[in-house]
Each structure stands twice: as structure tokens, then as C-alpha cells.
A and B are shown apart, each in its own frame.
Chain A
Amino acid sequence: MTAPIRVLLVEDNPGDAELTRDTLEAGKLVLDIHVVVDGAEAIDFLLQRGQHVGAPTPDLVVLDLNLPKRDGREVLQEIRRHAALRTTPVVILTSSDAEKDIAQGYLLGANCYITKPVDLAAFQQIVRSIETFWFTIVRLP
């Protein structure tokens, strides 16, 4: 049996976290999903420090932009600063559809930028696409 794929979900809205987790878990793949609720905690998790000493290095980060404490942009900058994390794929999943946020997201090194759809079916579809694309289609290092 292959090791489960580790996903770090950075999402302050517990509802969205639950929807994402629920959809991912309903898929065929075996996933190990971790949820953190703010930017500071996300950075601790990724750098394996504070309460997250010994945390696993995720295979994929799903990142919201508007987060308490340190926002998604800072988390993204932090990820791209560390050699060990530089190649980790980051998917921005946010409610913002502002051009400025999209451009900045890519500039900071996001691998893709997705606006949360309003509709549940569309949301589930997108989460499943993320799963399929990153874990079955692309080859990761």
C-alpha cells in the first residue's frame, strides 16, 4: 500500500474546510488531510515548529488568501523562501476574484489560482479536479 498523499488545507472558514475535506475524502485516493486555521499556524506547520514540531511535509498546499494573523500571501512567500518547500505545489482557493489578487498570487509563486464557486456542485467539481490533476495527472518531484 502506497503512503497516503498529504494535503495541508489552510482555511479559516470551518465550513469551507469541512466541504473541502468532505469532498476530498469522498474521492478514491487515500489522503492525509491536515487543516490549519490561520497563516501563522500554516507557517509553523510547514516549518515544523511550535505546536507542529514533527509535522509531515505536505505534498500539496490548498491555501486561502484572506486569513487571520498572517494572510495567504505571506504564507506563500514563506513557502517559496525555503528550499525544502520550494517545489511544493500550492493551490490558492479563495473567494476573491479581484484581478489584483490573481496576479499577485501567481507572482508570489502559486501553481494555480481558483475562485471558490458559489454553487456546491461546482465547488465539489473543482475540489475533485484539484485532486485528479495534482495526484493522478501531473508528476511531482
Chain B
Amino acid sequence: MVDCRAPVGSNDNQLGADGFGAIATVLAIASNPMLVIDELGEIRLANPPAERLFGGALDGVPFASVVPAERLGRRRDGTEFPIARRLEPLRVADRTLTLAAVTDLTLAAADHQLHLVIEAAPDAIVVVDAARTIRMVNRKAEDLFGYARGELTGRPLELLVPERLRTRHAELVAGYTATARPMGLARDLYGRRRDGSEMPLEIGLSPMPAAEGTLMLAAIVDITERKAIEDELRRSNAELEQFAYIASHDLQEPLRMVASFTELLAQRYQSKLDERADKYIFFAVDGAKRMQQLVADLLAYSRVGSQGRPLAPVPAGVIVREVVQVLGATIRATGATIDVGALPTVLADDGQLRQLFQNLIGNAIKFRGLAAPVVTIRAALRDDRWQFDVADNGIGIDAQYEDRIFQMFQRLHERGKYDGSGIGLTIAKRILERHGGRIWFTSELGVGTTFHFTLHPVANPS
């Protein structure tokens, strides 16, 4: 009920003709958006907050065009926003007008939506303020930490941090709050459940501006299981690598005996026994030699991980020149052309980079077509990595073998046509994994193949 007479005397808002002026005065000083609507539903009076809210002059505008529904406001430019409105009949002289008070609910709605989003988030979410007081938690956070939300809101965040880590945690949080930057994912963090037990967590922090200062929104994931799986994977990988190394290293010795003595047998007794014996000797020698190659390759592969050197700036151009020199005999024999563009200095293990180029250039020449091989080596900065392209005009690789080509001892051609055990690209891939890069290829059968790989640039010293 609004009564513009002063002092207030009756319950019905009856005003004299000059009462309209009084209403205008009241509206002018009111800080909320207020409007007076006539019997035809047109706006007769709007205060400055109302004009600001709807974005323009409202005199004579049908009220229904700015408030088309009970909870909907529409600005003059057509955009809509949530509102609450209150209508009161207002008698001025003999007319019955309507006084409308409108409240903008945009912020409240956003707040409400934020609550809904946080509540529905797949991760546990804890919102804290600058004083590290918990302001909001979602259902997942209740489940994760074993507290009801009433036990958490208003309490210090330290409640959720293991005692042994509280000091460090406070420093960490202070650091992130001070810089107010979105922190990616912090590793090796731990949380404390209500029952005192601990769990490893992954926490993504993002600052959230709010009326009362910047809040920090922490999305929390329990990584107990993931950590266990990662540890297991790391352990089994290390074990496998160790196994490959020991197997290949220790197999070499007895294998050398088998190979040496079957060969000695061949040297001494070839064509001194019968034809069948010669054949047996041949198969024994051939098998032993092949196995020696496999074992040597396996050893080379396992050495990528176990005997690599730390990454340092390496000029790729120099490495490629060395490799081209090493491959000199092959290059001359096949009439190959190696076209090397300007190559950058990259972060690498020089021995492994040499091996990488040797494998790729070697392959480019080995799998040549009828024409003399032409190998083109280029590098370009893509995003924040150097991308190298080693292109050839060789026989090409059928796209269906895309997955197999990098697998160990996978060969696409029958033995005898091309030598090699199929370890080269596996080693190349392993080398790039160690360097934090990747390798892939594009190819067209009968036209050529380009191997692409990426390496980190040398960090800018600044």
C-alpha cells in the first residue's frame, strides 16, 4: 500500500489533483525503479532508476511492453532480464492509477544459477573467502569429506586439511589468493576427512569475483584410485623396461655362443656333410643372426629410457649434417638427395636426436620407389613447439597400417624385401615420448611419406 498524502489518513490512496505532483516528488527521490501506470496500461511516470533499468524514456510506453510477464523485464532494446514486481492501486483525484515497484533480479538469478551449477558439478566444490572461511560447499564435497554442509560453512578451510600440512597449506592458499590467478592443477595435495583419514587430492582453483571480495572456488577430486593406478603403471613400466634391458643384455651372451658356433660349424663343415646338413646349418645360422638382431634392437629400445642423458640445447642442423655423413655410403649408392632447410636449436638428448634422424632419413631412403630418393627436411614453429617434417618420395604407407607402424617388430613387408626388424619407428616414438614431443605421419601410396614430429624449443632465457 502506498499513500502519498502526508500525513497518512486513510487506507485508500486517494489524492487530489495536485497529489500527482506529490507522487512525482516521491518517485524522484526513491532509489528503486518505480512507475505510475494509467487506466489504459500506459506508463505516465517513471523515476530515473526505472528509466535506467529499462534503458530509455518510458513516458507513454505500455507497461506490458517493459514488463511482459510477472517475473520478466524487457529493456527498450528488447533484451530481457528477471524481475520481481509489486503493483498497488493508486487513486489520484477521480482516477485509479497503478503504482509499480520493480526489482532487478539479474544478480540474484546469477547467484542462484551459480548455486545450481556448483551443486550439480561432478566434482566436490568448496568456496572460500579471503580469510579462508568456507562459504559454500556442494553435495559432492559433503560426501567426499564426510561432513554435512552445516558443519562446514562458516568454518575455517583448515578443517579439511591434514594437520601436518596446515601451515604449508595456509601459505599456498595465501599465495594463490594474493595473485588471484587461476591455478591449474596442484599436485600432491591431501585432504582430511571427518574421521581424520587422509586422501590424495587434485585441486583446481579459480578466483571468483563477488560483492564481498574475491572468493576462491576449489574443485576437488579424490585421486586415491588414480594415484594407485599411476603408481602401479609407473612401477610396471619400470619393471618392463628393466626386464627388457636384462633380457636383451643377458640373452646376448648365450646367443653369441649359438650364433658363433653355428657359423663356425658352417665355416668348417659346409659341403663336407650332405646337402640336408647344409640346409640345417643355414637355418640355424640364419635364425641365430635374426635373433641377435632382435635382441640388439630390444636393447637399443630399452636404452632410450634407461640410458638417456638430460635434455640440453642441441642444434638440429648440426645433428642432421652428421647423420647425412654417417649415411653417406647409402646416400651415394642410391643416388639420394637430402634437402635440409634451416633447422632450429631444440631441447634434446643429442645422441637420441641423432638416432631419431638416422632412423627417419634411413627409412626415407630404404623405402624408396623407382626414382632416386629425395628427402626434404624442414622445421617450423607451430604454437610453442618446433615441428619437423621429414618428407620422402618413396613407396608410401597404406593408411590402414597407421597403428601398426610404430609398434615393436611390426613390419609391413615380407622379410628379404627390406631389411630391418621393425624397431626403428618404435625407437623414434620412444625417443619423442621421452622428449615430451610426438610423432605421426602423412602418406600417399606410391607418392611419398612425411614423418612429422615435435620438439620443445630452448626456453627463452628472459
A: residues with CB less than 8 A from B are: 13, 15-16, 19, 22, 95, 116, 118-121, 123
Contacts and interface: CB of A to CB of B under 8 A. Distances in A.
Contact of A15 (B252, B261, B263, B296): B261
Given A19-B264, A22-B264, A120 B259 contact: yes
Contacts of B257: 13, 15-16
Contacts of A13: 253, 257
A55 to B, nearest CB: 28
Given A15-B257, A95-B253, A118 B264 contact: no
A58 B41 CA distance: 125
Interface of B: 252-253, 256-257, 259-261, 263-264, 292, 296
A95 B249 CA distance: 11
B300 to A, nearest CB: 13
A118 B292 contact: yes
Contacts of B264: 19, 22, 120
A120 B260 contact: yes
B292 A120 contact: no
Contacts of B261: 15, 19
Pick from B256, B259, B264, B292 the residue with the most CB of A within 10 Å: B256
Nearest to A15: B257
Nearest to B256: A118
Given A13-B253, A118-B292, 9 more contacts: A16-B257, A19-B261, A19-B264, A95-B253, A118-B259, A118-B296, A119-B259, A120-B259, A120-B263
B293 to A, nearest CB: 10
A109 B413 CA distance: 51
Contacts of B252: 95, 118
B260 A19 contact: yes
A133 B296 CA distance: 30
B303 to A, nearest CB: 12
Contacts of A119: 259
Contacts of A120: 259-260, 263-264
A119 B262 CA distance: 12
Which interface residue of B253, B259, B292 has the most chain A CB atoms within 10 A? B253
A19 to B, nearest CB: 6
A16 B264 CA distance: 12
A119 B255 CA distance: 11
Nearest to B293: A118
Nearest to A95: B253
B134 to A, nearest CB: 58
B252, B260, B264, B296, most chain A CB atoms within 10 A: B260
A118 B254 CA distance: 11
A22 B267 CA distance: 12
Contacts of B259: 118-120
A13 B253 CA distance: 10
Contacts of B263: 120-121
A48 to B, nearest CB: 32
Contacts of B260: 15, 19, 120, 123
5 contacts: A16-B257, A118-B292, A119-B259, A120-B259, A120-B263
A19 B252 CA distance: 16
- Nearest first, the 3 A-B pairs at minimum CB distance are A120-B263, A15-B257, A120-B260
A116 B257 CA distance: 12
Nearest to B259: A120
A122 to B, nearest CB: 10
B261 to A, nearest CB: 7
A121 B259 CA distance: 11
A107 to B, nearest CB: 23
Nearest to B255: A118
A16 B254 CA distance: 11
Most buried by B among A15, A95, A118: A118
B284 to A, nearest CB: 13
A119 B296 CA distance: 12
A16 B261 CA distance: 10
Contacts of B296: 118
A118 B256 CA distance: 6
A119 B264 CA distance: 11
A98 B394 CA distance: 39
A26 B383 CA distance: 65
Nearest to B268: A22
A109 B324 CA distance: 39
Nearest to B285: A120
Contacts of A16: 257
A121 B289 CA distance: 12
A45 to B, nearest CB: 25
Nearest to B295: A118
A67 B442 CA distance: 52
